[in-house]
């Protein structure tokens, strides 16, 4: 995810109140005005490394819990209350058991590699255009999968739609390319099971990762056509790829200042303002399938439904960038999960 600031002209360029509001006219600088160079920004390598190591620790420790809670063939007491929460008991259990530590490391390195590739896509695009930005920062959390993803912050205003598009699309494409090998290997080494053929589980609760079109295609490639009640016991690498697909789909939501919002605004310009509310309502409707979408509705609303304008709104995307926009749409369709996480109660 990248956070880009709006373009801000120098003071004293506001129009009289009687003139209708025209964003393009107000944002264009006076004739002869030169954009000042961005302030010097020194990358904080220590902060980036510290956050990465914290996230590596939390995802490695919590990864085995989420993996075992999603499988039908293993009964675990790592989370007796049915919730993955970091604690001294869990840390001691995972880091003293080579088998659990191996599962956690496989999941963690897979997921963090995908997230890092995504953010490096944004970072390299920013460096290409001379935009001041931070290094990729990971967000560790002491519950769930152990991370809320990663982000970079861009300090320099975006100058054109082409520049905005290149920065926005680079992350999802880089992340998706990085996750494909993990997804294929992980699904190939996962095990399909028929839920109807399982022995009694004493009302076992299963936290089932959602299925996207990319996952379904990989299952069909390696396991052939499967029955509707077939469940996939995921390899830890497949679970890491699932988290990467989920993060990619979230970032490609065509709203606000998410990557998908950058791409939509760069491709359609002011049409983004007309589409913002209907798309937001559509996301809210998906909350009846998975309540987590309501949380993301709130996050997007706080960030702003309407994308801030850039200085050059007139220059359209060229044919190459329109083709990349279509690629981003295909990636979104492949990665999106209407129900990213479900709870199954086995008899």
Residue 257 lies in domain: 2-6+41-346
User: Looking at the domain assignment, is residue 17 inside a domain?
Assistant: no
How many residues can be counted in the chain?
347
* Structural domain total, the chain: 1
Low-confidence ranges of the chain (pLDDT < 70): 1-41, 74-77, 79-82, 197-204, 346-347
**Which residue in 69, 56, 57, 164 sits closest to 115, CA to CA?**
56
Over residues 43-66, the pLDDT tens digits come to 789 999 999 999 999 999 999 999
User: Looking at the domain assignment, is residue 35 inside a domain?
Assistant: no
CB 144 within 8 A of CB 111: no
User: Looking at the domain assignment, is residue 87 inside a domain?
Assistant: yes
User: Looking at the domain assignment, is residue 285 inside a domain?
Assistant: yes
Q: Give the DSSP H/E element, type plus range, for residue 304.
A: none
User: Looking at the domain assignment, is residue 27 inside a domain?
Assistant: no
User: Looking at the domain assignment, is residue 45 inside a domain?
Assistant: yes
pTM for the structure as a whole: 0.85
Over residues 293-312, the pLDDT tens digits come to 999 999 999 988 888 888 88
The three-class DSSP label of residue 202 is: coil
pLDDT value of residue 80: 62
Q: How far is the CA of 49 from the CAs of 1, 2, 175, 178, 186, in angstroms?
A: 18, 19, 20, 21, 27
pLDDT value of residue 37: 52
pLDDT value of residue 238: 97
Where on the phi/psi map is residue 253: left (φ > 0), alpha (ψ -120 to 50), or beta? beta
User: Looking at the domain assignment, is residue 15 inside a domain?
Assistant: no
The three-class DSSP label of residue 28 is: coil
pLDDT value of residue 24: 39
pLDDT value of residue 30: 47
pLDDT value of residue 127: 92
**Which residue in 144, 173, 136 sits closest to 47, CA to CA?**
136
Residues 6+ apart with CB under 8 A from 126: 2, 132, 133, 152, 154, 167
């Amino acid at each position: 995810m990248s956070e880009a600031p709006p373009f801000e002209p120098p003071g004293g360029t506001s129009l009289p109140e009687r003139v209708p509001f025209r964003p393009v006219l107000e944002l264009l600088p006076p004739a002869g005005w030169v954009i000042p160079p961005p302030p010097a920004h020194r990358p904080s390598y220590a902060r980036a490394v510290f956050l990465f190591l914290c996230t590596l620790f939390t995802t490695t420790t919590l990864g085995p819990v989420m993996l075992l809670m999603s499988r039908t063939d293993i009964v675990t007491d790592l989370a007796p209350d049915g919730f993955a929460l970091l604690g001294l008991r869990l840390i001691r259990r995972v880091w003293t058991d080579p088998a659990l530590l191996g599962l956690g490391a496989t999941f963690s390195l897979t997921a963090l590699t995908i997230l890092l590739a995504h953010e490096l896509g944004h970072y390299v695009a920013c460096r290409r255009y001379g935009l001041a930005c931070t290094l990729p920062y990971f967000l560790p959390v002491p519950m769930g999968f152990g991370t809320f993803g990663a982000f970079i912050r861009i300090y320099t205003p975006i100058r054109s739609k082409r520049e905005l598009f290149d920065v926005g699309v680079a992350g999802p494409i880089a992340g998706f390319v990085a996750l494909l090998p993990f997804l294929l290997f992980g699904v190939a080494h996962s095990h399909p099971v028929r839920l109807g053929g399982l022995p009694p589980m004493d009302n076992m609760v299963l936290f089932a990762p959602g299925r996207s079109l990319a996952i379904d295609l990989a299952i069909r490639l390696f396991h052939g056509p499967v029955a509707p009640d077939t469940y996939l016991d995921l390899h830890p690498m497949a679970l890491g790829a699932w988290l990467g697909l989920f993060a990619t789909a979230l970032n490609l939501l065509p709203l606000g200042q998410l990557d998908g919002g950058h791409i939509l605004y760069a491709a359609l310009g002011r049409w983004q303002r007309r589409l913002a509310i209907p798309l937001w309502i559509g996301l809210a409707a998906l909350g009846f399938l998975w309540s987590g979408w309501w949380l993301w509705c709130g996050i997007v609303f706080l960030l702003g439904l309407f994308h801030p304008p850039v200085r050059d709104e007139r220059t359209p995307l060229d044919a190459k960038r329109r083709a990349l926009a279509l690629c981003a749409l295909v990636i979104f369709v492949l990665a999106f999960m209407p129900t990213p996480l479900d709870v199954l109660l086995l008899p």
